[in-house]
C-alpha cells in the first residue's frame, strides 16, 4: 500500500495532476527584514551577497558566492529554541528536529478581506471556529496558515513592515487563538507577514504570543510566506525544511505545497 501510494504520487507529479506551489518570497539584498526598537535589542542584518568568483581569475570555470544573512530572514522557519520559552526542549534546533515534522497537511484560514479592510486585523478563536464549521476540524499534526494576501506587499520594506510612529501594523493571531490551536495538536503556525505575530503583538499578554506559546509547546513557525491564495482551505501538503544549521534557531526555507 505504501509503495503504491508513493508511485501514484510520483506519477501525479510527473503528469501535473499534483501541482507544486512555491510559497517562498525571493531572497536577496532587497528582502525586507524585521526591525526591532532599540529597547528590544539588536536587529538582524540585511542580506548581503559576496562574489567569490564569476568565470574570472578567481575561478575561471565557475561562479559562486558567499552569503551574509540572519537565520530569520525572508521566508523562514522558526525552531522552538528561537524563543526563551522553548529553549529547554529536546530536539529544539534546526539540526535536531525530526525530519518527519517538515512535511505535514496544511489548513489555510483565509482572512484576506478582513486584513485588507484593517491592517491590524487579529484572528480570534471565534473566527477559527467559524472556519472549522465551514471546512472541517483542524487535525492534530497539521500546519495552520493565515492567508491575508500580505505577501503582495513584500517588494518593499516600507509597505511590508507598515510601521508608523505607533509601531508596525500587520495582521496576526490573538493569544487566545494560538492557545486554541495548540489544543488541536497542530505542528506549527505560519503567516505571510515578516514574523509569525501581528504588528501589535508586543503589547499582548503574553507579548508575541505566536512565538511565546508555539515554541513553549515545542512547535514551529513559518513567516513571510507567499502565494497562500493558490492553496485550498484543506487538502494541500506543506513541505518546509530548514537548513541543518548546528544549533540553529531558524533558517530560510524554500516552502512548497502539493495540491491536487
Q: Which residues are catalytic?
A: 82
Rounded Cα distance between 48 and 252, Å, is 14
Q: Can you read off the three cell numbers belonging to residue 84? A: 526563551
Look at the alpha carbons of 77, 83, 86, 92 in this order and tell me if their dihedral is positive or negative.
Answer: positive
Please answer whether residues 74 and 47 qualify as being in contact, where contact means their C-beta atoms are separated by less than 8 angstroms. Answer: yes
Rounded Cα distance between 198 and 207, Å, is 10
Q: Is 178 exposed, middle or buried (0-12, 13-18, 19+ CB in 10 A)?
A: buried
Q: Can you read off the three cell numbers belonging to residue 205? A: 499578554
The residue behind cell 504588528 is 199
Rounded Cα distance between 239 and 24, Å, is 11
Amino acid at each position: 500500500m505504501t509503495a503504491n501510494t508513493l508511485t501514484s504520487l510520483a506519477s501525479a507529479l510527473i503528469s501535473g495532476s499534483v501541482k507544486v506551489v512555491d510559497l517562498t518570497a525571493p531572497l536577496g539584498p532587497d528582502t525586507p527584514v524585521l526591525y526591532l526598537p532599540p529597547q528590544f535589542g539588536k536587529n538582524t542584518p540585511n542580506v548581503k551577497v559576496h562574489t567569490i568568483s564569476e568565470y574570472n581569475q578567481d575561478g575561471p570555470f565557475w561562479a559562486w558566492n558567499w552569503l551574509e544573512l540572519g537565520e530569520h530572514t525572508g521566508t523562514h522557519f522558526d525552531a522552538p529554541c528561537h524563543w526563551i520559552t522553548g529553549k529547554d526542549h529536546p530536539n529544539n534546533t534546526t539540526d535536531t528536529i525530526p525530519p518527519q515534522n517538515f512535511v505535514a497537511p496544511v489548513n489555510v484560514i483565509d482572512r484576506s478581506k478582513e486584513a485588507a479592510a484593517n491592517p491590524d486585523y487579529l484572528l480570534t478563536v471565534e473566527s477559527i471556529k467559524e472556519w472549522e464549521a465551514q471546512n472541517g476540524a483542524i487535525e492534530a499534526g497539521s500546519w495552520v496558515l493565515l492567508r491575508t494576501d500580505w505577501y503582495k506587499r513584500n517588494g518593499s520594506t516600507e509597505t511590508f513592515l507598515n510601521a508608523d510612529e505607533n509601531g508596525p501594523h500587520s495582521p496576526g493571531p490573538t493569544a487566545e487563538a494560538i492557545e486554541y490551536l495548540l489544543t488541536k495538536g497542530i505542528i506549527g503556525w505560519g503567516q505571510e507577514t515578516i514574523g509569525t505575530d501581528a504588528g501589535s503583538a508586543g503589547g499582548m499578554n503574553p507579548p508575541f504570543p505566536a512565538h511565546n506559546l508555539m515554541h513553549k509547546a515545542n512547535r514551529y513557525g513559518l513567516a513571510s510566506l507567499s502565494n497562500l491564495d493558490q492553496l485550498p482551505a484543506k487538502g494541500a501538503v506543506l513541505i518546509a525544511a530548514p537548513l541543518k544549521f548546528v544549533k540553529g534557531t531558524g533558517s530560510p526555507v524554500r516552502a512548497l505545497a502539493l495540491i491536487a
